Copies of this chain bind each other. A is one copy, B any other.
Amino acid sequence: MVIPAESFVLDPSYEGTLQQQIQELVTEGILSGRLQPGERMPSSRRLSEQLGVSRITVTLAYTELVSNDFLRAEGRSGYFVSENAPRPPVFDIPDQATADSVDWTRAIGQRFSRYAPLVRPSDWRRYKFPFIYGQADATLFDHQNWRQCALKALGQRDFEAMTADYYERDDARLIEFITRHILPRRGIAARPQEVLLTLGAQNALWMAAQVLLTQRRTAAIENPCYPGLREILEPTRCKLDVVDVDAGGLPPEALSSEVDVVFTTASHQSPTNATMPVERRRALLARAAQDGFIIVEDDYEFEMSFARSPSPALKSLDQTGAVVYIGSFSKSVFPGLRLGYLVGSETFIREARALRGLVLRHPPGHIQRTVAYFLSLGHYDAQVRRMGTAYAERRAVMEAAIHEFGLDLAAPSNFGGSSFWMRAPEGVDTIDLAQRLREMGVLIEPGRAFFGPEDENNAFYRLAYSSIPKERITEGIGLIADALAA
């Protein structure tokens, strides 16, 4: 039987080449059982006419399908579905999912779904004024060189780096670059065995919490604070010491004497952007030495200190090993990369490494090697500078517009960053505000998520400029001012 050419139809919304789409139509037909082994494919001429594509495209697709043994070629008589092609499943599959009669209330030992993370709308690119935080800006990303580096890392020479099970190890090239070039810029000297790669900063924070906390210990967190940290701490059942930040970030004198671990965003407090002054950093380290607590420093945005030369990391002042440092490539490369790192004493890193091994083994090798190339060829630095320049421009426009429209900055920020922490006028609920603005094409982040569940604080909001084009900022701020006035 010859399979009719009419049974193949192109999908205009398909993303990919015509040849790929033809291959996919054929493999799908075979895998679904619609095309049977031994059946004859339409000739390349017939199919090219039916699909309105060139004959060579069909021939190339057929040739590829032959090499994959989905089709076989038979001299002049054409192409047939191969007898070796995978068969569709022969099992009886019910149309509906199985009726679930398990008592999941009983079966689930630990419930995690109540920790709802801060989620941005996935279609944020369709909004005209996206004042949202932490997403990749396609206009600033060096896509071409990233692609080059990824391609290099896909090469035969890097086969082992890409495919191997690394167990507890990391890519030595990447670790070397981090210790030799990235950490020194933060004033940190670390040896390779004091660094561990993680699946992004979230994963680094999570591992630090697992190694350092138990339900008998106390963690101090900043208020307001990064919501992902609260998500992490709740399941550990540790006690919380919630410390209000001021214009200098976390005040060490406000820490309880019971504290075992202090989580801080010293360089850019999240979300207020406050930078902790050096004297306060020294005081915090002195308290750590005196009371014997560990400090986890989340330096999530250090590359974005374009407004002044960056303050050295808290870790750079650490003489005792009490600081565990977290860095990330999510802001400077892109968040979907999922790559960050932990820096700390060898004893701590050993435990974190063992934990990572049992939870997920290691970040994918290909990602590690691609980043290593992107860094060592200088593209990372170039990109950070490009972003810094763009952010500085956007920030200036933001500041002028915030001033012009009389919006209220809740906190100063001197070192750059990518957002402003704002206070709404008395009586405004910023969750409502965000909802109303969204209908007008403006995305802002209500501040509620940065406070604890017990704290019904709806007075603040965050305006980020990492994803909004400079030209749209003033109009967007104007719309926010209008909504606040209404």
Contacts and interface: CB of A to CB of B under 8 A. Distances in A.
Given A86-B381, A99-B319, A154-B147, A338 B362 contact: yes
A336 B165 contact: yes
Contact of A152 (B16, B32, B104): B16
A378 interface: yes
Interface in A138-174: 138, 141, 143, 146-147, 150-152, 154-169
B109 A211 contact: yes
24 contacts: A16-B157, A27-B377, A27-B378, A31-B181, A68-B382, A70-B378, A70-B381, A86-B185, A86-B385, A93-B189, A97-B190, A97-B194, A98-B318, A109-B214, A112-B351, A117-B167, A117-B357, A122-B167, A150-B366, A151-B154, A163-B335, A165-B336, A338-B362, A364-B367
B100 A165 contact: no
> Which 6 pairs across A and B sit closest by C-beta, in order of nearness?
A91-B187, A27-B378, A68-B382, A100-B321, A163-B334, A136-B163
Among A27, A69, A134, find the residue whose CB has the most chain B CB atoms closer than 10 A: A27
Nearest to A347: B104
A8 interface: no
Contacts of A337: 163, 364, 366
Nearest to A200: B361
A361 to B, nearest CB: 5
Interface in A179-233: 180-181, 184-191, 194, 199-200, 202-203, 206, 210-214, 217, 228, 231-232
A160 to B, nearest CB: 7
Given A160-B125, A335-B163, A345-B104, A93 B364 contact: no
Interface in A101-119: 101-104, 106-115, 117, 119
B320 A100 contact: yes
Contacts of A322: 102
A457 interface: no
